[in-house]
Amino acid sequence: MLIDMPLQELEQYRPALTAQEDFDAFWQQTLAVSNAQPLDASFELLPTEEYAYVADRVNIYNVHFNGFGEGTRVAGWYLVPKADYRREKDGKIPTIVQYHGYSGGRGLPSAYLHWALQGYAILAVDTRGQDGDTPDNHQYVEGGFVGFMTKGLLQPEHYYYRHVYMDCVRAIDVVRSRPETGPIFITGGSQGGGLTLAVAALAQDKGIVAAMPDVPFLCHFRRSIEIYSAGPYQELVDFWKRRPHTVEESYRTLSYFDGLNFAPRISCPVLLSVALMDTICPPSSGFAVYNHLGGEKSLRVYPFNGHEGGSNIQEQEKYRFVHKLLQG
């Protein structure tokens, strides 16, 4: 059944942006602080007996680097094919940076073999505090509802995703620090899609050649909250149930982190996927982003899928998209 606007309306849906006047200043200043902070990246080769089944083809590193601000070391997996198994572009390896969905973590390195064995390097990074190996040690000034969505919600400087977005930008610096790294593709689904959009806007000077967000979360908050019926937007709602007077103040904070406002600031090619039955990240939020993208862009619409999106089909679309861009 229809859960949002009909497709014809979605295709035309281009709502007003919600960025505050100091949106760009806010991020320039945040980036300046982040850039000034040492990365201190470490790459530890995993014991090969742990992945003996594929150690002849791929090297797997346990990566750590300083997250934004004090106290948080971010963990990631870096998989890089051995010489005979590499795909190369101008003598460098095209590299994927992947962000994960809400409440997840980097998981097992074997989950990324499908990219590595095709010849790409890949860095998969944790989201701080979430169910990986990375804590969130920012010093907050108040509590929040169960989950991450409302941590520091009342002030943009303290909002949880300010730190997450910077961690994700810093992950680009991490791969950029490797001599073998060639063109960088960024991707992720759901929260990972929202992070992909933010990084595409905030780190476009760092060699990102394309962004591939799927069913992105953290986009067009006001509309999403009117339409969603499952998933973590509920945390905001639960927070507001107890603090009804903070709604507008919260939306002001969220505007700094809204994929809608990042969209017109993205210049690299984007391959976006949207699912029309997505009750977690409603399709109108994805179309709103898409219709504001200014650069080269492609859309994949899954008319009867929910938040699982295109799954294997979209995965293959991304293989083709990356391969084609590298050919061009």
Q: Which helix (H) or strand (E) holds 170?
A: helix 160-176
Which structure tokens are listed for 212?
A: 């591939």
The answer to whether residues 211 and 266 touch, using CB atoms and an 8 Å cutoff, is: yes
If one asks whether residue 319 binds its own copies (CB under 8 A), the answer comes out as: yes
Which parts of 92-131 interact with its own copies (CB under 8 A)? 103, 105, 107-108, 110-111, 113-114, 117-119, 126-131
Nearest approach, Cβ of 101 to its own copies (angstroms)?
12
- Give residues with Cβ within 8 angstroms of 83, minimum separation 6: none
Nearest approach, Cβ of 110 to its own copies (angstroms)?
4
Q: Which of 34, 64, 138, 190 is catalytic?
A: 190
Q: Which of 100, 138, 220, 307 is catalytic?
A: 307
Nearest approach, Cβ of 139 to its own copies (angstroms)?
5
If one asks whether residue 82 binds its own copies (CB under 8 A), the answer comes out as: no
Q: Of these, 16, 179, 205, 242, which contacts its own copies (CB under 8 A)?
A: 242
85 Cα distance to chain centroid:
27
Nearest approach, Cβ of 117 to its own copies (angstroms)?
3
Which structure tokens are listed for 11?
A: 């295709």
Interface region with its own copies, contact rule CB under 8 A, candidates 132-140, 164-172, 252-260, 286-294 = 132-140
56-65 long-range contacts, CB within 8 A, separation 24+: 56/82, 57/81, 57/82, 57/84, 57/85, 57/116, 57/117, 58/82, 58/85, 58/113, 58/116, 58/117, 60/109, 63/123, 63/125, 63/174, 65/39, 65/40, 65/41, 65/170, 65/171, 65/174
Q: Of these, 10, 96, 123, 136, which contacts its own copies (CB under 8 A)?
A: 136
The answer to whether residues 211 and 197 touch, using CB atoms and an 8 Å cutoff, is: yes
Nearest approach, Cβ of 201 to its own copies (angstroms)?
25
Which parts of 1-60 interact with its own copies (CB under 8 A)? 1-2, 6, 52-54, 57
- The DSSP-derived string for 303-324 is TT--TTTTHHHHHHHHHHHHHH
Q: Report the residue number, 180 or 315, with the smaller CB distance to its own copies.
A: 315
Q: Report the residue number, 134 or 187, with the smaller CB distance to its own copies.
A: 134
If one asks whether residue 272 binds its own copies (CB under 8 A), the answer comes out as: no
Nearest-angstrom CA–CA distance, 111 and 80: 14
Q: Does the annotation mark 238 as catalytic?
A: no
Interface region with its own copies, contact rule CB under 8 A, candidates 36-44, 143-151, 162-170, 188-196 = 143-151
102 belongs to an annotated ligand binding site = yes
- The DSSP-derived string for 270-286 is EEEEEETT-SSS-HHHH
If one asks whether residue 137 binds its own copies (CB under 8 A), the answer comes out as: yes
Nearest-angstrom CA–CA distance, 81 and 86: 5
If one asks whether residue 251 binds its own copies (CB under 8 A), the answer comes out as: no
If one asks whether residue 227 binds its own copies (CB under 8 A), the answer comes out as: yes
User: 301 has which bridge partners?
Assistant: 274
- Give me the active site residues, please: 190, 278, 307
Annotated binding site for substrate: 102
